[in-house]
Amino acid sequence: FPSQMAEARPILQKIEDAGYEAFFVGGAVRDMILGDTIHDVDIASSAFPQEIKMIFENTVDTGIQHGTVMVLDHHIGYEVTTFRTESTYTDYRRPDEVTFVRSLSEDLKRRDFTINALALKANGEVVDLFDGLTDLKNGLIRAVGNPEERFNEDALRIMRAIRFSAQLDFAIENQTKTALTDLAPNLTKIAVERIQVEFEKMLLSPAASRGLQQALDSHLLAYLPGGVGHWPLTTWQEILTILNRLQISQAAIAWINLLVPSPVKEQDIASFLREWKLSRAVIKTAQALVPILRGKVSLDAWHLYQVEAYQEQLIEGMHSLGFTKDKIELVQQIFEQLPIRNARQMALSGQELMQSGVVKPGPEMGKLLQHLEKAVVTGEIPNQQAALLAYVRQEKRND
């Protein structure tokens, strides 16, 4: 057992000792068998929430209506979820009700893919009802049961199939692929936030281009936000090349890499990203960096100074977009040699300029300060108060 599971094993044991069944389930089992790092350990049990609360002293009701109780053990929280079935999906997105059941097989049956429907007992025994181990070995994403029905129940699974394909570098089994292609129109019924999460995870995956290729093959981009279905094939080809270059680490870069070769105009970046329900931080970063990465702005001290706060993202973006080593080094050098990083580092503040009596407060002063800032950034004047005041006096005389 990997360490996180070894630490959680006494929890399974304690539930078993109380006369119930308990298993590790979901992604942790899959990732353990693949030898990948495990994120969160999920536990499923035949015990009902109230029963779990009787077994353990410290619990928190994190999602009790869905059957989830958090068990606290040495300050670590473990989610224990009662075996459940989800019945009648009428809106393609969430079950109308969850029913607690005592059988593991009922619980595994409702899971999305065979590789996510494995269960592991405290004694190390793996329960594999749908040949998930074979699919893991062969690198296949296959729906549990009838793929049409499963995607019809919950269209988010379409995005999840593609995301797992990218994360694990797996193929999508043929019938599963046909079904997700047929049911892609149901994606418009899913909350954008949830689509965004899966799409972003795909872009940040080791095999991101494989995921995107699946999305292209299944014609599902037409049902995603922001009008990406209208982007020309040449844009997507460029994006595939970008994704093949290197795995990126930051969400903002993922979106920037999509935008740079796209037909989205600079003034429409914010509204595009807002349609995808992205955060203000991502929007600001993209607005600052896309014009630079499109080559519309010269890479000089003044322009780079204005995106100083996004320096790290700019460098990663340049790498993923295939800028030459020389260009990247040049930009890094300019950043390192900037005399100031922001306006607060100016040796002459607006307050001080006013007190000097050289200029009167007003719009003229704002302009003058900006002019000074630029002169400092480009190295025209040293960032020293006396030098700055002398420069201002000189300018006044020239007026």
Q: Which parts of this chain interact with ligand ATP (CB under 6 A)?
A: 26-27, 39, 42, 111-112, 116-117, 154, 156-157
- The phi and psi torsions of 8 (rounded to 5 degrees) equal -90, -10
Our CB check for ligand ATP shows the closer of 194 and 284 to be 194
Our CB check for ligand ATP shows the closer of 149 and 364 to be 149
CA–CA gap between residue 319 and residue 287 (Å, rounded): 18
Q: Which does 154 bind (CB under 5 to 8 A by kind): Mg ion, ligand ATP, none?
A: ligand ATP
Our CB check for Mg ion shows the closer of 94 and 374 to be 94
Say if strands 171-172 and 140-141 run parallel, antiparallel, or are unpaired.
parallel
Stated as kind and residue range, the H or E segment containing 375 is helix 363-377
CA–CA gap between residue 41 and residue 387 (Å, rounded): 62
Find the part of the chain contacting Mg ion (CB under 5 A) among 26-34, 120-128, 360-368, 374-382.
26-34
Question: Which residue's Cβ has the minimum distance to Mg ion?
Answer: 27
Helix (H) and strand (E) counts in the chain? 20, 11
Q: Which does 112 bind (CB under 5 to 8 A by kind): Mg ion, ligand ATP, none?
A: ligand ATP
Minimum CB distance to ligand ATP, residue 12 (Å): 17
Q: How many CA atoms lie within 13 A of 281 on its CB side?
A: 7
- As given in the structure block, the two tokens for residue 293 are 């990465």
Per rule CB under 5 A, is residue 27 in the interface with Mg ion?
yes
Per rule CB under 5 A, is residue 44 in the interface with Mg ion?
no
Our CB check for ligand ATP shows the closer of 85 and 306 to be 85
3-state secondary structure of 178: helix
Evaluate whether 354 touches 324 at the Cβ level (below 8 Å): no
Minimum CB distance to ligand ATP, residue 287 (Å): 29
Minimum CB distance to ligand ATP, residue 201 (Å): 7
Evaluate whether 330 touches 296 at the Cβ level (below 8 Å): no
Q: How many residues bind Mg ion (CB under 5 A)?
A: 2
CA–CA gap between residue 336 and residue 233 (Å, rounded): 39
Minimum CB distance to ligand ATP, residue 16 (Å): 21
Minimum CB distance to ligand ATP, residue 68 (Å): 11
Distance of CA 206 to the CA centre of its chain: 13
Q: Which does 111 bind (CB under 5 to 8 A by kind): ligand ATP, Mg ion, none?
A: ligand ATP
Per rule CB under 5 A, is residue 226 in the interface with Mg ion?
no
Find the part of the chain contacting Mg ion (CB under 5 A) among 5-13, 32-40, 107-115, 153-161.
32-40
Please give the C-alpha separations between residue 108 and each of 34, 118, 254, 369, in angstroms, as whole numbers.
19, 7, 33, 66
Minimum CB distance to ligand ATP, residue 138 (Å): 18
Minimum CB distance to ligand ATP, residue 56 (Å): 22
> What amino acid occupies position 75?
H
Polymer length of the chain:
399
Q: Which residues bind Mg ion (CB under 5 A)?
A: 27, 40
